Chains A and B, each alone.
Chain A
Amino acid sequence: MITIALAGNPNTGKTSLFNRLTGSYEYVGNWTGVTVEKKVGVLKKHGGQLVDLPGVYSLNPLSKDEGVATYSLLHDQFSAILNIVDASQLERNLYLTLQLLEYGKPLVIGLNMIDVAKARGIRIDAELLSKRLGCPVIPIVARSGAGCDDLTRKLAATVDEQNPFVIDYGQTLEEAICQFASMVPENQGLPPSRWLAIQLLEGNGVVRDLLVKHIPVSALNEWMENTEKRVQEETDFKSIVHYIRIARGRCIQSLLASSVTNEGSHGTTLTDRIDQIVTNKFLGLPIFLLFTYLIFKLTFDWLGTPLSDGLDEFITGPLSDTLSSWLHAAGATEFIEALILQGIVAGVGGVIVFVPQIFILFFLISFIEDSGYMARVAMVMDKIMESIGLNGKAFIPMIIGFGCNVPGIMAARTIEQPKERLLTIILTPLMSCSARLTVYSLFVGAFFKQNQALIVLSLYLMGIILALTLAKLFSSTILKQESSFFVIELPPYRIPQLRILLQSTWEKGKGFIRKAGTFIFGGSVVIWLLSYAGPGGMDVPMDESFLALIGGSIAPILAPIGFGNWQAGAALLTGFLAKEVVVSTMNIIYVAPDLPTLQGVMADFFTPLSAYSFLAFILLYVPCLATVAAIKKETGSVKWTWFSVVYALLIAYIISIVIYQGGLLLGFH
C-alpha cells in the first residue's frame, strides 16, 4: 500500500486538505500548531494512506511538534510527499519545498489558498512553476475542495522515483558536499548524501542523530569545522547557516521572478483594520475580556440555559414516564426499574441536560480558533505571561483547556522552551473545562439564581488567576530558566465557515457524549448499586448504604471547608473519573426526579457559601482521569504527573478553606 506524507508550513491548511482527501475529520484552526501529532487517514479515492504531519517552516526542528515532522520524514517509509503550499505566502513556503525536493522523494505540490492569493493580486503560473521544480503543481482551495480531485489523480500517478532537485551552493560548499558523500556508507537506506550534508551544516539535530549511528562523531565534527572555516574564509558570510539560507533564497527569487506576477495593491487590508482595534493600546485587553464575558452570557444566560431547561423537562417528563410505563408493561422487577430510573436515567440524564451549554461553548471556542484571533490573544497576553515566567503562546493551551483540558495539554507542544512547556502542561488543568461546567450549572441554578453568569465567570477567573500566580511561583523556584523567547505568526483574519465550525464543535463535543454513554453510564450504575446496597443488605436507607460509608469516611476532612456530609464526599470521590460524574452522583444520592427538585433538596445540605466553596473545590481538586493520563503522556514523567495531582489537591483545600472560613468571618452563610 502506498503511504503519502502531507507536509507544509504551519497554518497553510494541511488539516483541511487532509479532511478533504481522507473524508475523515481532524481538528482545524487558524493558528500555528493545530496539528501537534502525526495523524493517519485513508485516502478516499485510491485507498492509500495519508499521514498529516505537524506544520514546519523548515526541516530543522525548533519545537517538539516540528521534531515529530522531521523525524517522521526520516524514519517512516513514505512513497511520496504531498507538499501543501500557501499561494499567498509563496516565498516563505517554497523554502520548505526546496528542502523536500532536495530530499528526493516523489513530490506533488498542492498550491493552496489560490483564491486568497488572487484576491491579493498575486498571479502564479502553476505550469511554469511545475516545469522549473520538476514536480506537479496543482492549484487548490482546500477549504472549498476546488482542485482536490485533480490533486488526488496526480497523487495516484506519482509513485515512481524522482531525481533530487539540485541547488547550486557555490564552489566551496559543493566541494565539501562531494567530500561528505565519500564518508556516507552506501546501501543503508539513508537519504541522499547531498541532502544530509546540507541539513547537517544547517544544524539539524535529527539528521545529526541519524548520522552518528553511521559515521564517527570526530569525522563529522572535523568535516563541519573545516567547511565552516572555508565558507568564512572564501565568502563574506559570517555563518554557514546564513550562507545556505541566502543560496536557497536566491533560487526562490529566480523561481518567483519567472512564474509569479504581483499586481496587488498594498492598501489597508481587513486584517490591518481589525488588528488596529483588537490589539489597540487601550482596547486590546478589555476587548478580550468582553469577548470572554459575551461567551459566558451566551452559554449560560441567553441561549444555553433555556435549551438545557427544555431538555431537562423532556428527560424527566415524557422520557421517564414512557420508560416507566414500558418497564411496567414488560413486567420488570422493582430492582430493575429503580436501577434504570433512579440510577441510569438520573445519572446519565443529569449530565446529558448540559449538552446544549457545552456545545455552545465549543462552538464559540471554535469560532475564535478559526478566525485568527487566537494568535492576537497570545500577543496581547505575552507581556503579562512573560512577567510570570511564561510566554504568550502558553495562553493558547489554556484557552483550549476551557473546552477540555486534554487537547489543551496537547497544544502545549508548540511552546519551544521545555520548561515553559512543562509549566503550561501542569497549569492547564486549572482552566475550568466544560465538564466542570455541569457542576457549576447545577449549583448556580440552586443557589445563585440572580447572578448565574457572574458566579461562573468568577470561577473561571479564579482558575486563571491561580494558574498565573502558580506560574510565577513555580517559574521562580522549581522551574527556573535562563531565557524565554516569543516569536509568533499572526495569520490574516478569515471569516469562519459554518460547515467547519459545526464540524469542529461536533468533534470536540462528541467526546462528551461518548463519555456519557460509557464512563458516566457505568459510573451511574456502580454508584446507584453502592447507594442501594449496604452492610445491612439490599434496598437499605441511603444513609446506611456503602456509598454513605465511603463518602462518610472523608467527610470529617471536608467539614472545615463547608461540606462535611457523606454526600459531598461520595460525589468528590467519583468525580475523579470525570467531573460530570459529580452531577450524576448527586442526582442519584438525592433521588431527585428533576432539576428543580434536586436543586431544592441540595439546599438542605449546602448554604450558598458552602456551595461556592464546593464549586471552587470542584474546579481545583484533581485533574480528571483523562487529563492525568494526558499529563503523564506529554511530560513523560511520573514525578510531574504526581506533582500535578498533589499540588491541585493542596491548592483546592487551601482556597476552599479561605472561602468558607473567610466567608463565615465576614458574616456570609
Chain B
Amino acid sequence: MFLADRRAGEKVRIADTSRMNELVKRRLLDFGIMEGSAIEVKRILPLGGPIAIEAGGQLIGIRRSDAKLMMVEVV
C-alpha cells in the first residue's frame, strides 16, 4: 500500500521507494528519510494538495503524487 492511502495520524514504515522520483528521494534522504524509516502522516491538504509527514521530529511536506509512489507498511 502507498503513503497516499493512509490517513492523518497514522504511523507507517517506508517499505519501498524504488518507483519514486530520484530527486525527491535524494531530498528525503537529506532529511534522513529512506526505506526503513518510521514516519507519521500529520496533515493532508485538500484537493490533492501536499501531505505533511513527521519523521524524527521534523515536519516535511511532499506532494501527493510522490506519496502515491511511496510504498509503506503499517507498524
Contacts and interface: CB of A to CB of B under 8 A. Distances in A.
B31 A57 contact: yes
B60 A279 contact: no
Interface of A: 57-58, 60, 62, 88-89, 91-92, 95, 120, 238, 241-242, 245, 249, 271-272, 275-276, 279, 281-282, 284, 375, 378-380, 382-383, 386, 392, 416, 483, 485-492
B32 A379 contact: no
Contacts of A281: 45-46
B66 interface: yes
B46 A275 contact: no
B47 A88 contact: no
Given A379-B52, A488-B60, A489-B58, A92 B32 contact: yes
B31 A88 contact: no
A213 B31 CA distance: 32
A488 B63 CA distance: 9
Interface of B: 18, 21, 23-24, 26-32, 34-35, 42-43, 45-50, 52, 56-63, 66
A565 to B, nearest CB: 48
Contacts of B26: 60, 62
B45 A279 contact: yes
User: Which 5 residue pairs spanning A and B have beta carbons closest together?
Assistant: A57-B30, A490-B59, A383-B49, A487-B27, A379-B61
B62 A487 contact: yes
Contacts of B57: 88-89, 120
A618 B34 CA distance: 49
Contacts of B58: 89, 92, 489
A88 B50 CA distance: 25
Contacts of B46: 281-282, 284
A413 B47 CA distance: 28
A490 B53 CA distance: 10
Contact of B61 (A91, A242, A386, A487): A487
Contacts of B35: 242
A60 B26 CA distance: 10
A65 B28 CA distance: 18
Given A88-B57, A275-B42, A487 B29 contact: no
Contacts of B48: 383
Nearest to A91: B56
A276 B49 CA distance: 15
Contact of A490 (B18, B30, B47, B52): B52
B45 A95 contact: no
Contacts of A242: 34-35
A62 B61 CA distance: 17
Contacts of B28: 487
Nearest to A489: B60
A416 B30 CA distance: 14
A274 to B, nearest CB: 12
B66 to A, nearest CB: 7
Contacts of A272: 42
Contacts of B66: 485, 487
Given A95-B32, A279-B52, A490-B52, 10 more contacts: A57-B30, A62-B26, A62-B27, A249-B32, A272-B42, A379-B52, A382-B61, A382-B63, A486-B62, A487-B27
Nearest to A284: B45
B63 A485 contact: yes
A91 B57 CA distance: 10
B50 A392 contact: yes
Given A485-B21, A486-B50, A489-B59, A380 B45 contact: yes
Contact of A485 (B24, B34, B43, B49): B24
Nearest to B32: A92
Contacts of B27: 62, 416, 485, 487
Given A275-B42, A485-B63, A382 B32 contact: no
Contacts of A60: 26
B48 to A, nearest CB: 6
Contact of A271 (B50, B59, B61): B59
A173 to B, nearest CB: 18
B45 A62 contact: no
14 contacts: A57-B30, A62-B26, A92-B30, A275-B59, A276-B43, A379-B50, A383-B49, A416-B23, A483-B21, A486-B61, A488-B61, A489-B31, A489-B58, A490-B60
A468 to B, nearest CB: 16
A490 B35 CA distance: 21
Contacts of A386: 63
Given A91-B56, A92-B32, A275 B61 contact: no
A245 B27 CA distance: 13
Contacts of B61: 375, 378-379, 382, 392, 486-490
B3 to A, nearest CB: 13
A190 B52 CA distance: 41
B50 A92 contact: no
Nearest to B46: A281
Contact of A382 (B21, B34, B50): B50
A533 B62 CA distance: 62
A538 B36 CA distance: 82
Nearest to A491: B59
A538 B21 CA distance: 70
Contact of B30 (A58, A88, A282, A379): A58
B63 A486 contact: yes
A91 B56 CA distance: 8
A379 B45 contact: yes
A382 B49 contact: yes
A275 B52 CA distance: 10
Nearest to A60: B26
A485 B23 contact: yes
Given A92-B58, A485-B63, A62 B23 contact: yes
